[in-house]
Copies of this chain bind each other. A is one copy, B any other.
């Protein structure tokens, strides 16, 4: 890197010479691809006709680095996962950086390296971007927005409104890893076996699942608001009930211990490398087997089923045989988790 400064200056966002140097020497160098290298205001991409998925997310996670990931990995994986769970094959990402004056260039470089690595793993290309610098105190370190474009293969129609009574609910792995990893790091909690974020791109897992099972009704990654919020969204959109068997939900002991200590409900804690699949009952076993063969689905489990109702109601069957309503998160338990 030929940039001489150690930290980001306001002038790096000026539109002038320093910004051009930063973009060329750092962003274009790292994200190396011919579209970005043109330095035009828009990327121009060849696409085939059909259905395109388009999504966006801004990442404001604090701290920027945490066990198992960082804001860069999150910014790529989160948007890839929003595309993948729509049934799309993620293709292109944009990135918009808001940098607080004074951020160390070494930190920025580490974040970019992490984005490059995650983009390579997810087979997506970062084709266009923007950098803004705000004065010290105007933002907290670094925020990253990514928007993404993917192609939806013919015949794939996934929607939270498609659930049918009798369908099975499959969770791709353990619950709450990301949220507990971030909050533990931020608050300085020291556990003997600390939680690791699950931040990962799920498009490979989704592709395997969709080719193995035709009756996939809906996919979603339970990020902010956790599994409970996603299930409530599904139940409301499809006007069905959902029944979850608490004992079947995989949760790591260290995450469960942290949740109990800190007073969090793991069903409300954010995940960044998990998905919920709703699949026709007949195909549920093959869907589960397919997911378990994938690196990011090894702990997949059938955790419940779709019921006739009451519509919009999510019920949790506890191990002792009682039931409770699993509501959407009300209020805020973990700000700046993604």
Chain A residues in the interface with B (C-beta under 8 A): 9-11, 13-20, 38-60, 62, 82-83, 85-86, 88, 92, 94-98, 127-130, 132-135, 137-140, 143, 145, 147-150, 152, 159-161, 220-221, 223-226, 229, 233, 237, 268, 270, 327-336
Q: Are B224 and A82 in contact (CB under 8 A)?
A: no
Given known pairs A13-B335, A332-B9, the reply for A57 and B18 (CB within 8 Å) is no
Q: Are B58 and A53 in contact (CB under 8 A)?
A: no
In the assembled complex, how far is the CB of residue A2 from the closest CB belonging to chain B, in whole angstroms?
16
Q: Are A128 and B56 in contact (CB under 8 A)?
A: yes
Interface SS of A by simple majority: mixed
Among A14, A18, A88, which residue has the most Cβ atoms of chain B within 10 A? A14
Determine the chain B residues whose CB is within 8 A of the CB of A55 once the complex forms.
41-43, 94, 128
Q: Can you name 18 extra interface pairs (CB under 8 A) apart from A16-B328, A135-B336?
A: A14-B329, A15-B229, A16-B229, A16-B329, A16-B330, A17-B329, A18-B330, A41-B221, A46-B52, A49-B50, A52-B52, A56-B129, A57-B96, A60-B134, A134-B140, A143-B143, A147-B147, A149-B149
In the assembled complex, how far is the CB of residue A102 from the closest CB belonging to chain B, in whole angstroms?
13
Q: Are A92 and B332 in contact (CB under 8 A)?
A: no
In the assembled complex, how far is the CB of residue A324 from the closest CB belonging to chain B, in whole angstroms?
17
Q: Are B16 and A135 in contact (CB under 8 A)?
A: no
A–B complex contacts, Cβ < 8 Å, 6 sampled: A11-B330, A13-B224, A13-B335, A16-B268, A42-B53, A54-B94
Q: Are B331 and A11 in contact (CB under 8 A)?
A: yes
Among A10, A127, A132, A327, which residue has the most Cβ atoms of chain B within 10 A? A132
Query: With the chains together, A331 CA to B220 CA distance in Å?
Result: 45
Given known pairs A49-B49, A52-B44, the reply for A13 and B57 (CB within 8 Å) is no
Query: With the chains together, A332 CA to B239 CA distance in Å?
Result: 55
User: Which 3 pairs between the two chains have the least Cβ-Cβ distance?
Assistant: A15-B224, A15-B225, A16-B329
Given known pairs A49-B47, A53-B44, A57-B96, the reply for A226 and B15 (CB within 8 Å) is yes
Q: Are B60 and A53 in contact (CB under 8 A)?
A: no
